[in-house]
Amino acid sequence: MEWIIRTLEEIKARDLYRELVELETPQGRLISVDGKKLINFSSNDYLGLAKEADPECFEKWGAGSGASRLICGNFKVHRELERRLAEVKKTEESLLFSTGYMANLGVISSLVGRGDLILSDSLNHASIIDGCRLSRADVKIYEHCSADHLEELLKKHRRDYRRCLIVTDSVFSMDGDIAPLDKLFELKEKYDAVLLIDDAHATGVVGWSSLELFGLEPDERTVIIGTLGKALGTFGAFACGTSLMREYLINRCRSFIYTTALPPSIACQTLKNLEKVPDRMERLSKLVKDFGKMLGVESRSAIFPFLVDSEEAAVLMSKALKERGFWVPAVRPPTVKQSRLRITVTANHTEEDLVSLSKVLTEIARSC
Ligand SMILES: Cc1ncc(COP(=O)(O)O)c(C=O)c1O
């Protein structure tokens, strides 16, 4: 097994070594790492809901689901949550998945296969990339957020294929920017395609759905993937679309069929968390605006990338921030092309947290 040792050594030499860090406290604004209290600016718990745990949910439903949905793991509360999620996303239906990764893998590979075409944004999430690969469809990558390049590819290739899927993150997970969904919406009509939108970092942040930003509502050619493990504060994911789409996925989607159902207690907690979303979304939106002003950037999402020149600089800056009481890990290749600190603002932060981070960040950026 020499090759494993060699590979790890190579990774270390390139400052790309990854290590698991243990949190000694639950997810939240303040976390403890290595016995040190830190203000957490790295989580996707955008609305600060991850710590919520209503004993009623766990007493009523227990911790496990015991089977896949199609065997005997389908509980009333799953259905209640699916209906509520469809309502907020303005689709006819939704279907729960165990994770967003599995939702993207399963939905993409159910919708297209050999002889089909996928057009995928160059900065799409790894789970989308893997879903595209798994589908065995031909994949063409369009330049990040470029509807023009997408149309060029559609013009050139669409007629050679049976079905066509356009797939994009709505809020990009590492940059926080937003896909031109209005243009993508038109292109899917013009070129007879389905549009799959991954709302993982949009749900509960930019609104209930990213389409709201463009005054659009989903139609029968739109599928939206949402996750429960980010702003909604629990775990799992869902795909939104028509009733027909739901029925099709229940019958065809392997990552839905062949896996243990999301625990019903988690579905119950998610329903409770949903009630808190509007107020918290409002607070988050204010903090995002304020933090943007402090950094001199504009963002509609809660993700603020702080790009640096090298992997080494990213690691050094992250360490320096930790010493000053902030938790902002470095994100490096292959997750991103250019290393960065990925800062996320949550509804639980205080204005003072934002002011102190922006000051310390400027100081550290000068010295690293
Ligand atoms: C854009 C995007 N899609 C999908 C996922 C996967 O979701 P999950 O963490 O629920 O597997 C993530 C994050 O992890 C993501 O950032």
In a domain, 166, yes or no: yes
Mean pLDDT over 1-10 rounds to 96
* Distance (Å, whole) CA 196 – CA 233: 23
pLDDT at 22: 95
pLDDT at 368 exceeding the cut of 80: no
Let me know whether 112 and 180 are in one domain. yes
pLDDT class of 365 with cuts at 50, 70, 90: confident
Question: What pLDDT is attached to residue 283?
Answer: 98
For a ligand 1 pocket test, name from 127, 198, 203 the mutation site with the most ligand atoms within 8 angstroms of its C-beta.
Answer: 127
Closest protein CA for atom 10 of ligand 1:
100
CA separation for the pair 44, 345 (Å, rounded): 9
User: In the predicted model, is pLDDT for residue 177 greater than 90?
Assistant: yes
Tokens of 147: 């509807």
Q: Which residues pair with 194 in a beta bridge?
A: 165
Q: Is 198 in the pocket of ligand 1 (CB under 6 A)?
A: yes
The number of distinct structural domains making up the chain is 2
Tell me: do 83 and 38 sit in the same domain: no
Residues 154 and 191 in one domain: yes
Tokens 């509804």 -> residue = 347
Does residue 308 share a domain with residue 224? Answer: no
Looking at the fold, whether 20 and 74 belong to one and the same domain comes out as no
What CATH number has the domain bearing residue 313?
3.90.1150.10
Query: What value does the mean pLDDT take over residues 159-177?
Result: 97
Tokens, residue 272: 């409770």
* 141 found inside a domain: yes
Q: Is the per-residue pLDDT at 173 higher than 90?
A: yes
Q: What is the 3-state secondary structure (H, E, C) of 262-312?
A: CCHHHHHHHHHHHHHHHHHHHHHHHHHHHHHHHHCCCCCCCEEEEECCCHH
Q: Residue 366 has what pLDDT?
A: 80
Q: What is the mean pLDDT of residues 262-289?
A: 98
pLDDT digit string (tens) for 188-209?
Answer: 999 999 999 999 999 999 999 9
Q: Look at residue 22 and tell me if it is in a domain.
A: yes
| Backbone φ/ψ region at 323: left (φ over 0), alpha (ψ -120 to 50), beta | alpha
The pLDDT confidence band at residue 367, using thresholds 50, 70 and 90, is confident
Q: Are residues 37 and 168 in the same domain?
A: no
What does the pLDDT average to over 327-344? 93
Nearest CA to ligand 1 atom 8: 100
Would 313 be classed as within a structural domain?
yes
- Of the residues 258, 273, 288, the one at which a domain ends: 273
Residues 88 and 143 in one domain: yes
Expressed in angstroms and rounded, the spacing between residue 140 Cα and the centre of ligand 1 is 21
Would you say residue 95 has pLDDT above 80?
yes
Mean pLDDT of the chain, nearest integer? 96
CATH number at residue 198: 3.40.640.10
169 pocket-lining for ligand 1 (C-beta < 6 Å): yes
Model confidence at 210, pLDDT cuts 50, 70, 90, reads very high
pLDDT digits (tens, 9 = 90+) for 15-67: 889 999 999 999 999 999 999 999 999 999 999 999 999 999 999 999 999 99
Task: Answer yes or no: do 264 and 329 share one domain.
Answer: no
Same domain, 250 and 268: yes
C-beta 200 within 6 A of ligand 1: yes
Distance 102 CA to ligand 1 centre (A): 9
**231 CA → ligand 1 middle, Å:** 12
Write phi, then psi, for 94 (nearest 5 degrees): -150, 165
3-state DSSP call for residue 120?
strand
Helices 351-367 and 264-295, axial angle in degrees (round to 10): 60
Does 69 share its domain with 23? Answer: no
- Predicted confidence at residue 247, as pLDDT, reads 98
Q: Is the domain of 137 the same as that of 212?
A: yes
192, 86: one domain = yes
Q: Nearest residue CA, atom 16 of ligand 1?
A: 173
- On the question of a cis peptide bond just before residue 334, with omega within 30 degrees of 0, the verdict is yes
Domain ranges, residue 22: 13-46+302-367
Closest C-alpha among 11, 133, 42, 104 to residue 326? 42
Residue 294 forms part of a structural domain:
no
- Is 267's pLDDT higher than 80? yes
Mutation pick for ligand 1 pocket among 101, 105, 178 (CB with most ligand atoms within 8 Å): 101
